[in-house]
Structure 1
Amino acid sequence: MISSWWIRIRRAIGRLVSGQSLQWRLALLTGASVAISVLLVGATTFTVTRWSLLDQLDRELVQVAQNATASVAADYADMGRLSAGLLVASNGLLAVVGADASVAQMPGQSRDIAPTPTEVSIARLQFGSSARTLDADGVTYRVVAVPMRIDSSTPVAVMFARPMSGLETTLGTLWVVLLIAGGLGVATATLAALWTGRAVLAPVRRLSQAVKSVTQTDELNPIRIYGRDDLGELTQSFNTMLRSLAQSREQQRQLIADAGHELRTPLTSMRTNIELLVADDTSGMLPEGARTEVLGDVAAQLGEFSALVGDLVALTRDDHLQRPHELVDLADITVAAVERARRRGPGIEFDMSLETTPIMGDPSTLERAITNLLDNAVKFSPSDGVIRVHLEEGELTIIDQGPGIEEDDLPLVFDRFYRSDKARNTPGTGLGLAIVAHTAEVHGGSVKAGNQPGAGAKFTLRLPILEAPLEAFE
């Protein structure tokens, strides 16, 4: 039962807190924490103060009772000649209890004091003292008992009682003070937390406004950084994300623009040739053999179009981020790429010098990248030329016998769709080297273009070597 109520209370508090803003949530939690602390401190203070005042009252009453025993013992028949009026003046009640539980009350006092077994025991044992609280006619009394002997054969105990109105008034005043001070403390702490939360969460609100602005206006404006604390670092990270997003958006826009431009050429050419073939079906306008030539043109343009689309997909796909890399030998991948390149340049000789190179990578994307480098070498080399392929210490070098690369073109050869003046009349999509650069970056490596003195272009692909035993490839 208690468990179910506790669960309900927790859910109610959770709904109350979760429905508020972060600033109010912080203020409410702070106020609740302070309230619990004030409650614990106030309860402790009240308990300790009550115990201290009660102990002080007991000592005072015991002293009065002990003083009264001398008078009562001297004249027990007349109760030491103590008058009820004198006791009333001190708001006290007096009674004597015997070892046989008999009680002698002070004549003329307003109330009688009934003894308890504890007080009878004190009379019998003649040792110690006792204190208790007595409620009589709506008045709370504090009763103490001390031992006394009337003579050697008559052990008794003197009971003395006094109202606790003064102590109750003091405790009531203390409770009001604690309640007011605690309430003011909780209210002050809550307001302070509300103000502090507003100041502390200002950068978070700016971030929220920036996100709303990006959503509503599609403008990637950076946010001003006001400090070097954690929120400042968060703002800086958000600005970095905005810059990356803006750069990615620009690259995407440029890619779409370039792709649209590059795709338009083969599509236009194919459309022209197809329209020509359609017109020839009705009019027979083409001379003999021309139709076959046009169909060959369409097939070539379709192949160029398919290659361009394939390269675009390979360059923009992100599945390499999900595919796990595996332990591979870069030499084996290079051999497979060379075999593919041989079919595209049957008269070209490949001079290979490869050493075992263990790396972590994706074999398919690496083979495609190396094939693109070899295809580029085959494209610009003479039909009976020699292409040197050298692999050593994670560095793959491919040198052709072509015309080389102009110095002005070297920084641009890995850009998407870039084609130098020498390459404009050669087949290709302008994306092959961009795919190589992208693959090298994904694998933590790099690629560099240059010229080899006495030869042609020189491409160097560097990939990080994995320290693995050679037996792994045996």
Structure 2
Amino acid sequence: MGRRISVLTALAVACTVLITGLGGWLVTRVSLYQQLDDELIEVATVTSESVAADISTLGGLDAEALRTVNVSLLVLRSDGAVMRVPGAPTSLVWGPEEMAIARLQQGSSAREGRADNGSSYRIVAVPMPEVVDDDGDYALVIGRPLQPYTSILSSLALVMGSFGVLAIVGSAFIGYAVARSSLQPLRELSAAVSRVTVTDHLDPIEVHGDDELSQLTRSFNTMLSSLSLSRERQRRLIADAGHELRTPLTSLRTNIELLVADDRTGMLPEGARADILRDVAAQLSEFTTLVGDLVQLAREDRVDPSPEPIDLREVTRNAIERARRRGPGLTFDVELNPLYLVGEPDTLERAITNLLDNAVKFSPPGGTIHVLLEGDRLRISDQGPGIADEDLPHIFDRFYRADSSRNTPGTGLGLSIVATTVARHGGWVRAGRSAEGGAEFTVQLPGSTTLAELDEDADEQTQILTRVSD
């Protein structure tokens, strides 16, 4: 990649140098020739007046005078007759441009031509004033050798070419160095991808700077962090699930082996078989609940949200009806004020049901469960033994069960599901003690107390649910 960028940089500089050098050379050439033409025309105009005054001697010009000013000169008549300076070392070769000036007697001409010895000359022609005692029309043709000017242009081309080559080589090295430095984050990123592939280590990459490649590296580090977190959640879920599933499976296997052995030998006393079958049914129920909770947690880790406007009062009422069936001797003190939000009613109802089931499980016979929905908060409290202070920081951890609840039915996943669900809806849940000494759970959910306000905030709440899910 670095070599490719250096080659492209060198090519770009080469094109720039070529175009700039060629343009500079052409501008210099045109300027030199224009300056030479102006000078020769001025000399020819002045000289034509003296020549016209004495055409027979060409105004007294001689070869030495022409050699001094480094020019060649001839007088061209409109009929093609030519008059030259005697003894001149070279003679210009005239052409149709000069004949046109002699015949038309207006304007001037300038061109690149040759002398009789083959040397390159810059040749100009101007009309001569009327010659005394001669009816013919004349043009004065004067030329200067181009060799000094071509030498200047050749030297300029050499200098520009030399510096151009140096610029191309230098730009290639500079381009390579810049590419190597600029692509360092990309090489580190590529090495990190290879390292993850080979070693399976999700170590972040050190970021320097704030350019596009650095931002790409930060995005890659964010991806690595999310992948590491997802892997850790998966590892913890598998480990915890394996641990929790082992106990009911072992107990279930023992009971089934007893039933199989009794079927062969009749070893169990009367009534024991029925007790074992009831135990198996209870274990299957516990096992089914545990699997359902595990599926719920696994689903909520990667769920695609399907939010809709909901009335939390209706969701809470449905959860209370379930809880009433599970605690027939308990009293439910319910006060539900309006709260509308955008969310998933099924998962919210499951979360609220888990909180109510927890209250039912720990409430004393004939106890009261208080349910209050006010503003954006839902409070559920009971008259049970409450939650110990040392258990409060861990109460929402997966599979965590306090010492006081070891002998009660449950999987240790219910409150974890509550925390996950509430967080996905942009809210929070807290545990504490109620005024009556039991447990109290407070759930905060972003919502509105009227449907009109919900319509205004619906897009924002949907974005929160989607962002938290991602």
TM-score, reference length from structure 2: 0.84
Task: Answer yes or no: is the 8 Å Cα contact 1:103–1:115 preserved in 2.
Answer: no
Question: 1:62 and 2:41 equivalent?
Answer: yes
Change over 3 Å in CA distance of 1:276–1:353 after alignment to 2: same
Q: How does 1:211-290 map to 2 (within 5 A)?
A: 211-224=193-206, 242-290=224-272
Residue correspondence of structure 1 range 261-410 to structure 2 within 5 A: 261-318=243-300, 321-410=303-392
Taking the aligned partners of 2:396 and 2:82, their CA distance within structure 1 comes to 117
Gap regions ≥5 residues in structure 1: 1-20
- Residue identity (%): 52
Q: For 1:468 and 1:62, how far apart are their aligned partners in 2?
A: 97
**Residue of 398, 401, 410 corresponding to 1:416:** 398
Give the stretch that moved more between structures: 56-65 or 233-242: 233-242
What is the DSSP-based 3-state SS (H/G/I as helix, E as strand, rest coil) of the residue aligned with 1:317?
helix
Structure 1 residues 101 and 332, CA gap change in structure 2 (3 angstroms)? farther
Query: What residue number does 1:210 align with?
Result: 192
CA 54–372 in structure 1, closer or farther in 2 if over 3 Å, else same:
same
Deviations 1:402-442 (A, max 9, x none): 11111111111100000011211111110110011111111
Query: Does 1:106 pair with 2:84?
Result: yes
What's the CA shift for 1:240? 5.7
Residue 264 of structure 1: how far off its partner (Å): 0.5
Secondary structure of the residue aligned to 1:414 is: coil
Aligned to 1:432: 414
**Deviations for 1:85-125, whole angstroms, at most 9, x for unmatched residues?**
87678765544445x56452537855531122xx5554455
Paired with 1:129 and 1:112, the residues of 2 have a C-alpha distance of: 17
Match of 1:18 in 2: none
Matched-pair contact (CA < 8 Å) for 1:94–1:113: no
Q: Could you say which residue in structure 2 is the equivalent of 1:44?
A: 23
2:140 aligned residue (133, 141, 158): 158
Q: Decide which of 189, 198, 205 is 2:180's aligned counterpart.
A: 198
Task: Say if 1:351 and 1:138 are closer, same or farther in 2 by CA, change over 3 A.
Answer: farther
In 2, Cα distance between equivalents of 1:290 and 1:135: 132
Whether the 8 Å CA contact 1:76–1:150 is kept in 2: the answer is no
Q: Give the letter aligned to residue 144 of structure 1.
A: V
Please state how far the C-alpha of 1:322 moved relative to its aligned partner: 2.2
Deviations 1:35-57 (A, max 9, x none): 23322321221122111111122
Which amino acid in 2 is paired with 1:292? A
| SS of corresponding position for 1:419 | coil
Name stretches of at least 5 consecutive residues in structure 2 with no aligned partner: 456-470
Q: Which amino acid aligns with 1:130?
A: S
Deviations 1:219-245 (A, max 9, x none): 344545566777667666655655554
Shift of 1:324: 3.5
Aligned equivalents of 1:429 and 1:29: distance in 2? Answer: 65
Task: Provide the rounded CA distance (Å) in 2 between the counterparts of 1:85 and 1:467.
Answer: 114
How many Å apart are 1:162 and its aligned residue?
3.2
Q: 2: CA distance between counterparts of 1:174 and 1:144?
A: 25
The one-letter amino acid of 2:413's match is: L
| DSSP 3-state at the match of 2:169 | helix
Task: Please state if 1:462 is matched with 2:440.
Answer: no
Correspondence for 2:123 among 118, 143, 160 = 143
- Which amino acid is 1:209 matched to? A
1:38·1:182 contact (CA, 8 Å) conserved in 2? Answer: yes
Q: How far apart are the structure 2 equivalents of 1:251 and 1:228?
A: 32
**Aligned counterpart, 2:158:** 176
Partners of 1:295 and 1:134 lie apart in 2 by 123
Residues 139, 358 of structure 1: alpha-carbon distance in 2 compared, 3 angstrom cutoff: farther
In the alignment of these two chains, the number of paired residues is 449
1:58 is aligned with what amino acid?
D
Q: What is the Cα-based RMSD across aligned positions, in Å? A: 3.1
CA distance in 1, matches of 2:392, 2:102: 115
The question of whether the paired residues in 1 share the 8 Å contact of 2:53 and 2:131 is answered with no
Task: Judge conservation of contact 2:49–2:129 (CA < 8 Å) in 1.
Answer: no
TM-score by length of 1: 0.84
**Matches of 1:106 and 1:297, distance apart in 2:** 138
- Which piece of structure 1 moves more, 224-233 or 141-150? 224-233
Aligned to 2:468: none
Pair 105,401 (structure 1): closer, same or farther in 2 beyond 3 Å:
farther
Amino acid at match of 1:47: L
Q: Is 2:92–2:114's contact at 8 Å kept on the other side of the alignment?
A: no
Q: 1-side partners of 2:57 and 2:425: how far apart?
A: 112
If asked which structure has higher relative contact order (CA below 8 Å, sep 6+), I would say 2
Deviation at 1:443, TM superposition (A): 1.2
Cα distance in structure 2, aligned partners of 1:452 and 1:193: 71
**Separation of aligned partners in 1, 2:192 and 2:452:** 54
